[in-house]
Amino acid sequence: MVIGAGPVGLAAAAHLTERGLDFLVLESGPQVGASITQWGHVRTFSPWKYDIDAAARRLLEADAWDAPDPDWLPTGSELVEHYLAPLAAHPTIAPHVRFEAKVTGISRAGVDRVRTVGREQAPFVIRLESGEELTARAVIDASGTWKTPNVLGASGLPAHGEYDAAAFIDHALPDVLGADRERYAGRHTLVVGAGHSAATTLLALAHLAEDVPETRITWAIRTGSAARTYGGGAADALPARGALGTRLRRLVESGRITLLTGFFTHSITPHSQTVTVISRDPSGADQKVVADRVVAATGYRPDHVIAGELRLDLDPILGTTRAMAPLIDPNAHSCGTVPPHGVDELAHSEPGYYIVGAKSYGRAPTFLMATGYEQARSVVAALAGDWEAARDVQLDLPETGVCSADLAEAQEARIGLATGISGGLLSAPLPLVSAGASASEGGCCG
């Protein structure tokens, strides 16, 4: 059973197909890449050549697929339209994908988490929201973290009044220049977060302010400096990411974006048309912002509720497996410095249950799609009994990401304002923190 029909879930399906293993993909949304459609207006950091799983490519190319330009940076919508949708429609995969099939619980048949005798022989029971129950010998959870964003509260707890102010709060990557334009045009928006999701939204708001000068932008971060968000500029191995930081720095220095540092969100008080956001730092000093809208670009966290009756071996800090935690610790690793890892590092105390993709990283913000594809390949090889292939894990990523030189400049010349966002206004597909940013102030790494 594969949970989730996003890039990594469908990559697992492609590898299961090649291995001749029976499978079923359960997607809670109405289509493939349902979460990706929520940020379909955003471009990825990494070009197509790094966004397509190898097994998926082999299946598609054998079916006369028109492969996209390998050097193009796709939007989320393009990722779905030109890759995920054709892959899910492939005749070897389509019969095994079910939509609007939300998983609400996973256990072992007749065995709860406490019981040990006979546990490994009992099949998994997957319960759906409809009440239907399915069985499987193994479960690959590729459901991601999009639906479980971090809270605004700086301590990891919701800010006082946060839920009461929900109508004023959007989470990462709203379509500021498109579908959501009316909510932001001519208004004061507070963007909270120090990652690339925050940077993307800030640049979009600045672009909007050029057309609607009454639009005001405030950016709040916990750290004392935005240097980590600005990144390496022209020296960044990901030109798109470097361009993002460079443009953001210029907007702050010019005063078009007001930057508040040392901002620890403590309370949010809704009024009829505005919200008051109070920061209280560890010393007790307060800052106050009155805004019309708040964008919480504060990262995401894994939700393990559905696996409550399984024996998970979770790191107490990151919420990933204990074996994975030191490999992906954001205090020590960026997206590109995570060492190769596969089935052994992904294994829990519950044999046959694996979490892959963004969710496998817990709260670590260093996930890349290419990493998820290798996870899926390794896990499926193990399920097929090919342990030599499963443990031959290979992942070659430049330290700061995956890109080719001058990519951002070349693409900007090609796309101009076709999507309503400047070609340099680029983020990444999965809403995770970039290298150096804290997990609670998430951006994304493509």
**Whole-number pLDDT of residue 344:** 96
- Same domain? 136 vs 195: no
**Whole-number pLDDT of residue 412:** 42
Does any domain span residue 415?
A: no
In the predicted model, is pLDDT for residue 21 greater than 60? yes
Does any domain span residue 246?
A: yes
Q: Which DSSP symbol is given to 83?
A: I
Name the helix (H) or strand (E) containing 399: none
Per-chain mean pLDDT for the chain: 86
- Same domain? 19 vs 134: yes
Single-letter code of the amino acid located at 101:
A
Q: Can you say whether the dihedral through the CA atoms of 332, 338, 344, 347 is positive or negative?
A: positive
Q: Residue 314 corresponds to which tokens in the numbers above? A: 């979770």
Does any domain span residue 400?
A: no
- Same domain? 304 vs 293: no
pTM listed for this prediction: 0.86
Q: Residue 6 corresponds to which tokens in the numbers above? A: 């996003």
Report d(CA 147, CA 358) in Å as an integer: 12
Q: Can you say whether the dihedral through the CA atoms of 285, 273, 189, 258 is positive or negative?
A: negative
- Same domain? 289 vs 345: no
Check which CATH number belongs to the domain holding 28 and give it.
Answer: 3.50.50.60
- Same domain? 73 vs 143: yes
Per-residue pLDDT tens over the stretch 400-412: 433 333 333 444 4
Does any domain span residue 110?
A: yes
Report d(CA 300, CA 193) in Å as an integer: 12
**Do the Cβ atoms of 193 and 149 come closer than 8 Å?**
no
∠ CA(179), CA(180), CA(186), 5° rounding? 130
- Same domain? 186 vs 282: yes
Per-residue pLDDT tens over the stretch 205-258: 999 999 999 999 999 999 999 888 887 555 454 555 557 778 899 999 999 999
Residue with the bigger pLDDT between 91 and 330: it is: 91
Per-residue pLDDT tens over the stretch 47-104: 898 899 999 999 999 998 999 999 899 999 999 999 999 999 999 999 999 999 999 9
Q: Residue 135 corresponds to which tokens in the numbers above? A: 């069985």
Does any domain span residue 286?
A: yes
Does any domain span residue 161?
A: no
- Same domain? 319 vs 360: yes
Range of the domain at 231: 166-297
- Same domain? 235 vs 366: no
Cβ burial 149-188 (10 Å sphere, 16+ → b, else e): bbbbbbeeeebbbbeebeebbbbbbbbbbeebbeebbebb
The partner residues of 291 in beta bridges, in order of sequence, read 275
Number of domains in the chain: 2
- CA nearest 118: which of 286, 282, 351, 387? 351
- CA nearest 366: which of 296, 426, 428? 428
Which residues are CB-contacts of 163 (< 8 A; sequence separation ≥ 6)?
none
- Same domain? 188 vs 252: yes
DSSP labels for 255-308?
A: TSSEEE-S--EEEEEE-SS-EEEEEE-TTS-EEEEEESEEEE---B----GGGT
Kind of pairing between the strands at 25-26 and 2-3: parallel
- Same domain? 385 vs 265: no
**Whole-number pLDDT of residue 428:** 36
Q: How far is CA 42 from CA 49, 350, 380, 388, 403, in A?
A: 18, 37, 31, 39, 17
Does any domain span residue 226?
A: yes
Report d(CA 340, CA 333) in Å as an integer: 12
Of the residues 248, 264, 297, which one is the last residue of a structural domain? 297
Most confident region among 28-37, 222-231, 409-418 by mean pLDDT: 28-37
**Do the Cβ atoms of 292 and 188 come closer than 8 Å?**
yes
Which residues are CB-contacts of 140 (< 8 A; sequence separation ≥ 6)?
1, 2, 3, 9, 12, 354, 356, 376, 379, 380
Q: Can you say whether the dihedral through the CA atoms of 246, 251, 253, 257 is positive or negative?
A: negative
- Same domain? 198 vs 225: yes
* 3-state class (DSSP) for residue 414: helix
Of the residues 368, 391, 414, which one is the last residue of a structural domain? 391
In the predicted model, is pLDDT for residue 434 greater than 70? no
Instruction: Give 3-state DSSP helix, strand, coil % of the chain, rounded to 5.
Output: 30, 15, 50
Does any domain span residue 154?
A: no
Of the residues 342, 369, 391, which one is the last residue of a structural domain? 391
The mean per-residue pLDDT over the stretch 124-138 comes to 98
- Same domain? 350 vs 285: no
